[in-house]
Amino acid sequence: MRLSHLTAVLLLVAAGVTACGDSSPNDAAPNDGSTPTRAEVPDASSFTTVIDNPFMPWTPGAVYTYEGGAERITVEVTDDTREVMGVTTVVVHDTVSESGKVVEDTYDWYAQDADGNVWYFGEDSKEIADGKTTSTEGSWEAGVDGAQPGIAMEADPQVGDYYYQEFYEGHAVDTGEVLALDEHVDVPLGSYDDCLRTEDVNPLDTSVVEDKFYAPGIGLVLETGVKGSDERSELVEFAPGD
């Protein structure tokens, strides 16, 4: 994931992200879609590495494989943890390959709060060409250079919810909006009902809009470009883990 953070106090208020508090993203009144939800980051002691949100169940050992165009994406929930902002997070390893060669290698950090919201605390991301790292631009860590964690998946998503997923000024900003809770999705691995559909936008580049579909008990099963891209990435293999 990619995220951006605003360091100035007034911009933080406008973005609705603060460094302390215990409210969930759904505590805020529904908005009109123009401003992301004001989600406060809970106290570090309220987080857990047991991530069992039905739309993002990061079970250690689980492996998701997606294919789209020339890309093959492998997402593995590891047994490793990393402390970020005093929170012990789960490390998820994500690789993108083209023609059998890895072109992007990323370690993402997640934790779940007491309400069941899954928070995203950053990533160590490398773009690779000919076996060599060419860029780490997408990397960020919550609490460093003003970056703050964002909501990767709400505990109780409702149509119209609009929230920051990533927030690090000038480098990585992503927002998610809940579009539907009852989608039917067909991918090579199978058919899924009652899927959550979100629309993801990077405010730094609104020319590209993606929709993501999450199946209960599985997680992400389909990602499609709806503006500025016609890419489609589908779940083709899934190992549920421990």
Query: Is the Cβ–Cβ distance between 223 and 210 less than 8 Å?
Result: yes
User: What are the structural domains, with CATH classification, of the chain?
Assistant: 9-239 (2.40.360)
pLDDT for residue 94: 97
- What does the pLDDT average to over 121-125? 96
Reported pTM: 0.84
Tell me the three state secondary structure of residue 69. Answer: coil
CB atoms inside a 10 Å sphere around CB 4: 22
Could you tell me the end-to-end alpha-carbon distance of the chain, in angstroms, rounded to an integer?
25
Residue 157, pLDDT score: 97
- What's the rounded mean pLDDT across residues 39-61? 95
Average pLDDT score, the chain: 85
Q: What is the pLDDT of residues 24-46, one digit of tens each?
A: 333 333 345 457 665 789 999 99
The three-state secondary structure class of 12 is helix
Distance CA 53, CA 212 (A): 16
193: tokens are 């009902």
Q: What is the mean pLDDT of residues 10-26?
A: 33
- The pLDDT assigned to 34 comes to 59
Q: pLDDT category, 233, cuts 50, 70, 90?
A: very high
- Label residue 4 by pLDDT band (50, 70, 90): very low
Alpha helices in the chain (DSSP H): 9-15
What torsion do the CA atoms of 9, 11, 16, 17 make, to the nearest 10 degrees?
-60
In this predicted structure, the answer to whether residue 6 has a pLDDT above a threshold of 60 is no
